[in-house]
Amino acid sequence: MTGDGIDRTAVRRDRFSGGPARSFLSSLAADERIFAADLAVDRAHVVMLAERGIVEGAVAGEILAALEAVESAGHDALPDGEDVHEAIETAVIERMGPDGGRMHTARSRNDEVATCIRYRLREDVIETIEATIGLRARLADVAADHTGTIMPGYTHLQPAQPTTVAHWALSYESTVRRDTARLLDAYDRINRSPLGAAAFAGTPFDVDRERTAELLGFDGVIENSIDAASSRDFLLETTGALSTLATTLSGLAEDLIVFANRGFLELDDDYASTSSIMPQKKNPDTLELVRAVAGDAVGGFAGLATTLKGLPRAYNRDLQRATPHAWDAVDAVSEATRVAAGAVGTAEWDGETLAAEAGAGFSTATGVADLLAAAGVPFRTAHEVVASAAERGADFGAVAAAAEEHLEDPLESYVDPAAVEATLDPAESVASRSSTGGPAPEAVEETLSDARGRLEADREGLAARTDALAAARDRLDAEVDARV
């Protein structure tokens, strides 16, 4: 308020409060997602301001009480505003008068927004990590139940070599494990506080950035104030990790769809539907949607990268359009992960059909070629022998006839016929592949044990991060309660 009785702040706000572009500028509706995050950031900032003597203790207590009232009223009760941050501040001022505006001392919406996004995103990433751990646990359980369940393996969707359901399931577990690791890494870079950077050039007030970071559960601060206020690489990294996870899920979904089509498994009714006109149909609808989520996530990553490309330092309003790409991706991918886990974990595998199909297309041919190569036949020559045998039939007689055509001596002079007969059997073929990571039961058991151990380590790592956030919320609540 000036000496002439005019509130210059109100005049300035009124000047920019209308116009045809006002609704285009506003993000208030979309900001409901970070309503709770903004309240937490406001509280931590006000507590710090009081501790540093920048705002009087009594005023800080009133602000904190007003914030509590705003929270109780909910997002829908906020006054109109350009965004949730402005609306909350306006609601506080409406409750306690001009002193409510002191809550914005020593900060800008730029660092406030960046902090709120990180505060909320880390919670979403934790939920997605939990979903990946759940999927890995389901895959490990499938592997444990099917270490000896022979199934056909494919390359180019053609019968290639026999393997086991366990070997297949663990192939996805190890891939999703890397997806978990990427998200954990992203979380640790998200969990740094920009608060105190102000618009981009810091503030002359004697703020304690480490204190607000501590109250909000961040592991530390982003030191450079320009970087803190304007960078969104953490969004890009997270959305990239989500896109990679979605691509993994898409492959898993496709495999399950193909296996269901071929009668190798039956999906639980909770993960299928029937046709509106053809009552005999059982459609893998949920998995088709899981498969499609990869397109959403990759599209979000492309949209985000395009928005961020070429933005000058420091803050630009384009960033308002950037964040929703990350929100959409994390929601879709997290849900798809949980659905995929449920579908694979409840599917019933048909062991008889799998075993019958495991040898289709002379899938044990490579084993015969390996057997000849181990006996001293050059592998390329062995390859020709078995290729010729494939044209005659997938049995011992065909192999013997092909050997007579391509080798100098009869087949028996190179290998024991009983060994060839065994190699032609899909179960024996699988059992022979016992090197690390192979499909033989003993190799699978070793891989499974390792997978269980890594799964538990990731559970513990996630729990440590989750517990740290809970402890920070308790500290902040205690500080607020002491001042209200």
What pLDDT score was predicted for residue 5? 45
What pLDDT score was predicted for residue 333? 98
Q: Is 275 a residue of the active site?
A: yes
* Neighbouring-strand partners of residue 153: 161
Closest CA to 134 of 176, 104, 171, 170: 176
Low-confidence ranges of the chain (pLDDT < 50): 1-11
Residue with tokens 């890594």: 454
Q: Which of 72, 156, 276, 435 is catalytic?
A: 156
User: What is the rounded distance in angstroms from the CA atom of residue 439 to the CA atom of residue 163?
Assistant: 6
Q: What's the pLDDT tens digit per position in 116-132?
A: 999 999 999 999 999 99
Contact 222, 228 (CB under 8 A): yes
What pLDDT score was predicted for residue 17? 55
What pLDDT score was predicted for residue 6? 45
Q: Which of 45, 230, 243, 275 is catalytic?
A: 275
> Per CATH, which fold does 111-207+216-357+450-475 belong to?
Fumarase C; Chain A, domain 2 (1.20.200)
User: What is the rounded distance in angstroms from the CA atom of residue 273 to the CA atom of residue 250?
Assistant: 19
User: What is the rounded distance in angstroms from the CA atom of residue 170 to the CA atom of residue 263?
Assistant: 21
Q: Is 72 a residue of the active site?
A: no
Cis, peptide link before residue 40, omega less than 30° from 0: no
Instruction: State the pairing for strand pair 265-266/348-349.
Output: antiparallel
Q: What's the pLDDT tens digit per position in 295-348?
A: 999 999 999 999 999 999 988 889 989 999 999 999 999 999 999 999 999 999
* Class at the top of the CATH hierarchy for domain 8-105: mainly alpha
The pTM of the full predicted model, rounded to 2 decimals, is 0.91
